[in-house]
Amino acid sequence: MKNQIFAVIMAGGSGIRFWPKSRKKLPKQFLKITGDKTMIQSTVKRIESFVPYQNTIVATNILYSKTVQGQLPYIPYENIILEPVGRNTAPCIGLAALIVEQKDSNGVMLVLPADHWVKDDRQFCNELKIAATIAAEKETLIAFGIKPSYPETSYGYIQCGKKRSLIPETEYEICQIEKFREKPDIKQAEAFVKSGNFYWNSGTFVWKASAILEEIEKSLPFLHKGLMKIKEHFGKNNKKEEIDKIFSSFQSESIDFGVMEKTNRAEVILSQVDWSDVGSWKALKNHLPADNSGNVVSKKHILIDTNNSIIEGNERMIAAIGLKDMVVVDTKDVLLICPKEKCQQIKNLVEQLKKEGKDEFL
């Protein structure tokens, strides 16, 4: 493949659903959630066999500059995009595309969330390579859709269009994107799964840097105009200050709804990997070993008649009797206790803390 491949790791999220372990100063992507590496370290490790470190770009909030450098010391500092403010995915991806295009005018970008789990790294990398080849040859914008195994309400969905085809010399299908759907309620999710035409939106994308910039220009002209101003400051002494000023002026736009849903160049590859965004404490049961009673437990504990619970300790001994389907998370300053089915409401609890001005717990 003549085109260089670059990876853009999106690592600016706040990871609210993993509170109280995930905090403003150290969100989910920088924690060891599913193994002995942090989520972002696992993401970079996953693709290192075919994307060299010098072609890996990390986009994160300026608050996490030292954290990223500490956890990924092998990534060149100039490859770390430090956002002054969060503006969703479109502005960040647009800026990353400028950087990739500067390195290689024909460069292909893999856009990867920093905090997702994939069971088979080799299979996932094979799919990324297939998508990169298609994106380079056809100059299309490719999303990764995951076949839903159950009606999940915490994921967004991609609706396939009528045109659907087999990718030559592979077992994979690709189709035009009809629509992106926000997180549905349970009835909608059940209907999506039953139809067989909806796929989980994994947040993974593949395209040429030049192609995504062309589509940003068509769909988000104000953003594109700002990106071109940023480009003018590349190489100048005061570039950081000026780029931050321009970036902060952008509106919050997602790449899904801002660009992908509007363009006629968008396709979705129907991925076959076992994938999860590990979006809540409840999800740990799928990724960590459980005891004979179905409990996923860490640190010091003693349990009696406790079943199917998530118990995440700190330094203190956690003793529990008679718990069922519960989440218990102990940190130095917060103890969280909630039913597993209520995990999605943790974000409401965090919002309540904000309203009450209890920022020391965020």
Cα(156)–Cα(344) distance, integer angstroms: 14
Mean pLDDT, the chain, whole residue set: 95
Cα(330)–Cα(338) distance, integer angstroms: 12
Whether 195 has a pLDDT exceeding 90, the answer reads: yes
The average pLDDT across 141-165 equals 93
Pairwise pLDDT comparison (179 vs 237), residue with the higher score:
179
Whether 46 has a pLDDT exceeding 60, the answer reads: yes
Cα dist from 304 to 189, 295, 319, whole Å:
36, 11, 8
For Cα atoms 18, 19, 24, give the angle at the middle one, nearest 5 degrees. Answer: 105
pLDDT, tens only, 100-149: 999 999 999 999 999 999 999 999 999 999 999 999 999 999 999 999 99
* Sequence ranges of the domains in the chain: 5-276, 281-361
Residue percentage of the chain with pLDDT more than 70: 100
Cα(146)–Cα(199) distance, integer angstroms: 5
The average pLDDT across 50-57 equals 97
Whether 180 has a pLDDT exceeding 90, the answer reads: yes
Look up the pTM and report it. Answer: 0.95
Residue percentage of the chain with pLDDT more than 90: 92
pLDDT, tens only, 320-348: 999 999 999 999 999 999 999 999 899 99
**At 15, is the pLDDT very low, low, confident or very high (cuts 50, 70, 90)?**
confident
The average pLDDT across 265-278 equals 95
The CATH number of the domain covering residues in 5-276: 3.90.550.10
Whether 271 has a pLDDT exceeding 90, the answer reads: yes
Q: At which residue do the structure tokens 């990223």 appear?
A: 68
What does the block give as tokens for 87?
């503006």
Of 257, 8, 234, 232, the C-alpha closest to 108 is: 8
pLDDT, tens only, 62-83: 999 999 999 999 999 999 999 9
Whether 352 has a pLDDT exceeding 60, the answer reads: yes
pLDDT, tens only, 210-229: 999 999 999 999 999 999 99
Whether 238 has a pLDDT exceeding 90, the answer reads: no
Whether 184 has a pLDDT exceeding 90, the answer reads: yes
Query: What is the per-residue pLDDT for 1?
Result: 55
Query: What is the per-residue pLDDT for 38?
Result: 97
